[in-house]
């Protein structure tokens, strides 16, 4: 079994030491019960990975001093930007957890005509959810969380990449899946759906409306289905 993975924003070179504090130290000490001499894995959310040994515990286990034994950097996977209307309540956690596992590299809460207002206040909680999903799935790149934006703004900013808008009357997703390494932007609408104007505007800016089958999916299901399809097409 591999070492447990912890987040260390500043990951030093092999042979150097660093301190794990706060929630990560608590998790390592109290939940995983790591002892001095045990090894663990670290990541910095930007592709940096290290193996380290616990050399000292201080402040009742809230500060753990680590010696880095091995250090490397993983290349960034092909980018996938998910711009998605926010589902309600706990479904946001489901969305971000699964999307991170499935390779989302960037997340924008989509401000649509029919969506609930997306505030930036959720960003810290969303980041924590993405962090836990990175650890669980051992993805070394933490998704970047952007400020809310309208569909046309997202489509306009995605110059050079493939932009797909999930819309039940679009063309089947499988027709446009041949995008192994191109940057991909996925737009998923709110409970009430995109307005035709939003879809037309995004299409004018180069986006392709795509359908995900006959069933009308929940927001998070549609997002996860698209991300899974992209992952499979790249694997």
Residue from 27, 53, 218, 234 that binds ligand SAM (CB under 6 A)?
A: 218
Judged on CB neighbours under 10 Å (0-12, 13-18, 19+), 19 is middle
Nearer CB in complex with ligand SAM: 43/194: 194
Nearer CB in complex with ligand SAM: 18/83: 83
Beta strands in the chain (DSSP E): 5-7, 17-21, 39-43, 48-58, 63-73, 80-84, 106-109, 144-145, 162-172, 184-188, 208-211
Instruction: Output the CA torsion sign for 81, 86, 92, 95.
Output: negative
- Provide, rounded to whole angstroms, the least separation between the CB of residue 114 and ligand SAM: 9
Q: Any contact of residue 5 with ligand SAM (CB under 6 A)?
A: no
Q: Any contact of residue 216 with ligand SAM (CB under 6 A)?
A: yes
Cα(179)–Cα(230) distance, integer angstroms: 8
Cα(186)–Cα(209) distance, integer angstroms: 10
Nearer CB in complex with ligand SAM: 113/191: 191
Alpha carbon dihedral 99, 102, 108, 110, in 10-degree steps, equals -60
Nearer CB in complex with ligand SAM: 130/212: 212
- Provide, rounded to whole angstroms, the least separation between the CB of residue 139 and ligand SAM: 24
- Provide, rounded to whole angstroms, the least separation between the CB of residue 163 and ligand SAM: 13
- Running DSSP on this structure, what letter comes out for residue 191? T
Q: Any contact of residue 74 with ligand SAM (CB under 6 A)?
A: no
Q: Any contact of residue 141 with ligand SAM (CB under 6 A)?
A: no
Cα(33)–Cα(27) distance, integer angstroms: 8
Residue 42's nearest CA partner among 25, 62, 57, 63 is 25
Stretch that binds ligand SAM, among 26-34, 102-110, 178-186, 206-214 (CB under 6 A): 206-214
What tokens appear for 16 in the block?
A: 């150097």
- Provide, rounded to whole angstroms, the least separation between the CB of residue 192 and ligand SAM: 6
Nearer CB in complex with ligand SAM: 140/219: 219
Site string for ligand SAM, 173-202 (x = CB under 6 A): ---------------xx-x-xx--------
Alpha-helical regions (H) of 138-175:
151-157
- Provide, rounded to whole angstroms, the least separation between the CB of residue 61 and ligand SAM: 44
Contact footprint for ligand SAM (CB under 6 A): 166-168, 188-189, 191, 193-194, 211-213, 215-219, 222
């Amino acid at each position: 079994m591999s070492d447990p993975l912890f987040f260390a924003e500043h990951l030093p070179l092999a042979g150097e030491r660093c301190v794990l504090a706060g929630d990560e130290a608590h998790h390592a000490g109290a939940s995983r019960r790591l002892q001095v001499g045990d090894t663990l894995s670290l990541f910095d959310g930007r592709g940096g990975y290290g193996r380290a040994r616990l050399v000292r515990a201080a402040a009742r286990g809230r500060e753990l001093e680590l010696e880095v034994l091995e250090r490397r950097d993983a290349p960034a996977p092909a980018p996938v930007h998910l711009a998605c209307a926010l589902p309600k309540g706990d479904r946001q956690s489901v969305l971000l957890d699964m999307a991170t596992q499935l390779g989302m590299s960037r997340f924008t809460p989509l401000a649509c005509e029919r969506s609930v207002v997306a505030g930036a206040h959720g960003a810290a909680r969303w980041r924590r959810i993405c962090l836990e999903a990175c650890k669980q799935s051992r993805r070394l790149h933490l998704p970047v969380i952007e400020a809310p934006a309208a569909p046309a703004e997202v489509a306009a900013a995605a110059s050079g990449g493939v932009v797909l808008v999930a819309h039940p009357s679009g063309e089947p997703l499988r027709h446009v899946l041949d995008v192994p390494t191109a940057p991909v932007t996925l737009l998923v609408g709110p409970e009430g759906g995109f307005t035709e104007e939003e879809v037309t505007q995004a299409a004018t800016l180069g986006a392709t409306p795509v359908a995900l089958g006959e069933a009308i999916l929940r927001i998070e299901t549609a997002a996860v289905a698209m991300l899974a399809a992209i992952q499979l097409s790249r694997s």
